[in-house]
Structure 1
Amino acid sequence: MDQANKLQYQQQVEKYLEGNKVYSIFEDLLKSLIIKKPDDPIEFLINKLQEPETKKIFIIGPPGSKLLELSLTLAEYMKFHCVSLGDLIKKELSKKSELSQQIQDSLDKFQYVNDEIAINIALNQIQHLENEKKSYIFEGFPKTRVQGLAFQKEGIIPDAFLILEMSEEQIYQCCLKKLDTEPFNKLSQKEELARNHSLEYQLNLKQVKEIYKNQYFSVDGEKHYELEDMAQRLKYKLYNNAPTRAGRILVIGPPGSGRSTLAKHLCARYGFVYISTRELISNLVNQKGTTGKEAFEKINKGDLVDDRIINALIKERINQTDCQLQGYVLDGYPKTQQQLETLNELNIQPTLIVIIDATDDIVLRRLTQRRTDPISGRIYNSIDEADREVKSRLIIAPNEKRDVVQLRLKRWEDLKQLIDGTVKYASVIFKTSGDAPINNIIEQVCYHLEKMN
Structure 2
Amino acid sequence: MDETARPLRIPVAMATYGDTHQLSHLMQELLSILLLRRPDDPISFLIQMLTSRCDIPRVLLLGPPAVGKTTVAKRLKTELRAVHVTPPSLLEDQSLHTTRNQQEPPDELMVKLLHQRLTKSDCISRGWVLDGFPRTRLQALSLQQAGILPRHVVLLEAPGVQVLQQRSEGRMFDPLTGDLYHRTFLWPDDEGVAGRLESGRSLTEEQLQQYRREVTGLSSAYQHVLKVVNGDQPPDDVYRQVRSVLQTRRCSRTPRILLFGPPGSGKTLQAGRLSDKYRLVDVCCGQLLRSVASGASRLGKQIQTYLDEGQTVPGLMELQVVEERLGGVDCSVRGWVLHGLHPDLQQAQRLRERPLLATRVFFLEATDRVCLERIRGQRYHLVKNQFQTRPEDLEALRRYRDLVQDLQCLYPDAVHIKADQDPQSVFESLESKLTSN
Range of TM-score over shorter length: 0.5 to 0.7
Gaps of 5+ in 2: 1-10, 172-199, 293-324, 379-386
d(CA) in 2 for partners of 1:48, 1:58:
22
On the 8 A contact 1:352/1:430 being kept in 2, the answer is yes
In the alignment, which of 204, 207, 214 is matched to residue 201 of structure 1? 214
Where do 1:146-165 residues align within 5 Å? 146-165=138-157
One-letter code aligned to 1:49? L
2:125 counterpart of 1:133: yes
One-letter code aligned to 2:358? P
Encode CA deviations 1:295-326: one digit per residue, 9 max, x unaligned.
Answer: xxxxxxxxx9x9469999xx7998459x63xx
- The alpha-carbon deviation at position 353 of structure 1 amounts to 0.5
Where do 1:157-236 residues align within 5 Å? 157-166=149-158, 170-173=159-162, 176-177=165-166, 180=169, 182-184=200-202, 190=205, 193=206, 196-208=209-221, 212-223=222-233, 225=237, 227-228=239-240, 230-236=242-248
- The alpha-carbon deviation at position 215 of structure 1 amounts to 2.3
Aligned equivalent of 1:389: none
d(CA) in 1 for partners of 2:69, 2:291:
48
Where do 1:351-370 residues align within 5 Å? 351-357=359-365
d(CA) in 1 for partners of 2:132, 2:403:
48
- Percent identical pairs in the alignment equals 16
**Paired residue total:** 333
- The alpha-carbon deviation at position 427 of structure 1 amounts to 3.2
C-alpha change, 1:60 and 1:171, in structure 2 (3 Å) is farther
One-letter code aligned to 2:60? F
d(CA) in 1 for partners of 2:214, 2:106:
14
2:428 counterpart of 1:430: no
d(CA) in 1 for partners of 2:107, 2:81:
30
C-alpha change, 1:41 and 1:441, in structure 2 (3 Å) is same
On the 8 A contact 2:154/2:242 being kept in 1, the answer is no
On the 8 A contact 2:111/2:146 being kept in 1, the answer is no
C-alpha change, 1:355 and 1:31, in structure 2 (3 Å) is farther
One-letter code aligned to 2:245? R
C-alpha change, 1:22 and 1:116, in structure 2 (3 Å) is closer
Aligned residue for 1:82, secondary structure, equals strand
On the 8 A contact 1:162/1:216 being kept in 2, the answer is yes
In the alignment, which of 48, 61, 64 is matched to residue 62 of structure 1? 64
C-alpha change, 1:150 and 1:444, in structure 2 (3 Å) is closer
d(CA) in 1 for partners of 2:229, 2:399:
36
Encode CA deviations 1:128-160: one digit per residue, 9 max, x unaligned.
Answer: 356652211112333322222222222222122
- The alpha-carbon deviation at position 69 of structure 1 amounts to 0.9
On the 8 A contact 2:156/2:231 being kept in 1, the answer is yes
Moved more, 136-145 or 227-236: 227-236
Aligned equivalent of 1:384: none
On the 8 A contact 2:360/2:434 being kept in 1, the answer is no
d(CA) in 2 for partners of 1:415, 1:280:
31
C-alpha change, 1:151 and 1:121, in structure 2 (3 Å) is same
d(CA) in 1 for partners of 2:273, 2:23:
26
Encode CA deviations 1:88-141: one digit per residue, 9 max, x unaligned.
Answer: 378489855xxx26x74458xxxxx75335434433432335665221111233
Aligned equivalent of 2:358: 350
Aligned equivalent of 2:187: none
Bigger radius of gyration: 2
The root-mean-square deviation of aligned C-alpha atoms, in Å, is: 6.0
One-letter code aligned to 2:29? D
Gaps of 5+ in 1: 1-5, 108-112, 264-273, 285-303, 364-399
- The alpha-carbon deviation at position 61 of structure 1 amounts to 1.7
Where do 1:344-423 residues align within 5 Å? 348-357=356-365, 417=401, 420=404
C-alpha change, 1:428 and 1:197, in structure 2 (3 Å) is same
On the 8 A contact 2:155/2:227 being kept in 1, the answer is yes
